[in-house]
């Protein structure tokens, strides 16, 4: 198996990307796609071995503030486009990038296209719950949706949960402002009826405050709502972490309380650490693509590569193609 990795994508590239490959380069063939001179210079500066890593030169980089669609077309030799072309040509079985989400999606649609029958792609993010990880989609690929799009997100999320989380019959929930069928805007109400009349195990509407309970295996929403939900959750966790580790009234009991709380939060962090889940697959695209957070750490990159390996090994994209195409 060969995995192509965008070495230039993300706020800390190529350093964290190189660090994130060091363990897995002994398990799978990895292709670093990017400006060769920059990759080699960074490896030298950080004392990182490039042994076991293939470098595929790409002379251009799509920056985070580049217009996605225009960059996808104009920067034909970008690390994102070259990496996706390797996937299309069969020279790689999956592609991983921490670059601009919009640019990854636009370039993937241009190079690979969508799976026949799929209206819009969706990013499927694993999120921690009190019971086991759940799938939240979409978290940013398609912000303006129709009922049919959301229903297809549910179908793809159902397949992903079956094959990635090994859940025999995933429970599908529609993210809404209330649990009652009558709640929500017209988009959600029409989508509800599609799910209710489908063969999926539809559990109805789910409110945002209930998502982390773990009663729902696949949570469906449009990319705008999903992205806001995800970033709000990350920000809330960061605030809690900051207050616990920095807040103390200076008294003896205050310090004791802080020590105890820190121990509890450390366990909490292990479960809710986003780096643990790495990247998220871009479902609906005609190839195994994994999108990592722009601020990914080396651990997140490593786990993003693991996600890509799992996608390719279990032929999840092929299953979506056969069931939805």
For position 294, which CATH number holds?
3.40.718.10
Judge whether 124 lies within some domain. Answer: no
In a shared domain, residues 268 and 291: no
**Whether the Cβ atoms of residue 205 and residue 171 lie closer than 8 Å to each other:** no
Tell me what the mean pLDDT of segment 181-203 comes to.
96
- Which single residue is written with the structure tokens 């960059």? 71
β-bridge pairing 122-123 and 2-6 = unpaired
Output 237 or 203, whichever has higher pLDDT: 203
Instruction: Quote the domain boundaries for residue 16.
Output: 2-118+284-324
Judge whether 235 lies within some domain. Answer: yes
pTM equals: 0.90
Locate 142 and state its tokens. 């398609």
Whole-angstrom CA distances from 178 to 135, 185, 200 are 20, 11, 21
In a shared domain, residues 242 and 302: no
Number of domains in the chain: 2
pLDDT value, residue 250? 57
In a shared domain, residues 55 and 186: no
Tell me what the mean pLDDT of segment 220-227 comes to.
96
In a shared domain, residues 90 and 221: no
Tell me what the mean pLDDT of segment 209-233 comes to.
94
Tell me what the mean pLDDT of segment 131-139 comes to.
94
Q: Please state, for a pLDDT cut of 90, what percent of the chain lies above it.
A: 80
Round to the nearest angstrom and report the end-to-end CA distance of the chain. 25
pLDDT value, residue 259? 57
Judge whether 100 lies within some domain. Answer: yes
Residue 161 has pLDDT above 90, yes or no: yes
In a shared domain, residues 272 and 133: yes
In a shared domain, residues 135 and 76: no
In a shared domain, residues 39 and 105: yes
Distance CA 248, CA 275 (A): 28
Tell me what the mean pLDDT of segment 159-168 comes to.
95
Residue 122 has pLDDT above 70, yes or no: yes
In a shared domain, residues 206 and 292: no
In a shared domain, residues 269 and 290: no
In a shared domain, residues 134 and 248: yes
């Amino acid at each position: 198996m060969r995995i192509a990795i965008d070495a230039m994508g993300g706020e800390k590239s190529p350093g964290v990307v190189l660090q994130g490959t060091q363990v897995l380069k002994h398990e799978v063939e990895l292709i670093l796609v990017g400006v060769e001179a920059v990759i080699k210079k960074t490896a030298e500066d950080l004392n990182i071995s490039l042994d076991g890593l293939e470098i595929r030169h790409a002379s251009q980089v799509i920056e985070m503030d580049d217009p996605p669609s225009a960059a996808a077309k104009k920067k034909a030799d970008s690390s994102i486009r070259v990496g996706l072309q390797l996937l299309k040509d069969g020279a790689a079985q999956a592609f991983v990038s921490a670059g601009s989400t919009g640019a990854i999606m636009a370039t993937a649609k241009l190079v690979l296209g969508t799976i026949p029958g799929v209206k819009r792609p969706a990013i499927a993010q694993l999120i921690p719950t009190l019971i086991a990880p759940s799938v939240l989609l979409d978290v940013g690929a398609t912000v303006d949706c129709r009922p049919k799009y959301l229903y297809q997100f549910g179908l793809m999320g159902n397949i992903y949960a079956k094959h990635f989380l090994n859940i025999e019959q995933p429970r599908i929930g529609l993210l809404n402002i209330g649990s009652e069928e009558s709640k929500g805007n017209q988009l959600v109400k029409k989508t509800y009826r599609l799910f209710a009349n489908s063969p999926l195990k539809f559990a109805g509407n789910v409110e945002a405050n209930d998502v982390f309970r773990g009663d729902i295996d696949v949570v469906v929403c449009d990319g705008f709502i999903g992205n806001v939900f995800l970033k709000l959750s990350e920000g809330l966790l960061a605030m809690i972490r900051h207050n616990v580790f920095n807040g103390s009234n200076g008294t003896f009991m205050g310090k004791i309380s802080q020590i105890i709380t820190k121990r509890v939060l450390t366990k909490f962090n292990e479960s809710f650490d986003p780096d643990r889940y790495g990247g998220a697959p871009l479902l609906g695209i005609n190839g195994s693509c994994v999108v990592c957070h722009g601020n990914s750490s080396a651990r997140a990159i490593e786990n993003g590569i693991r996600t890509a390996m799992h996608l390719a090994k279990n032929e999840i994209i092929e299953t979506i193609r056969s069931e939805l195409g």
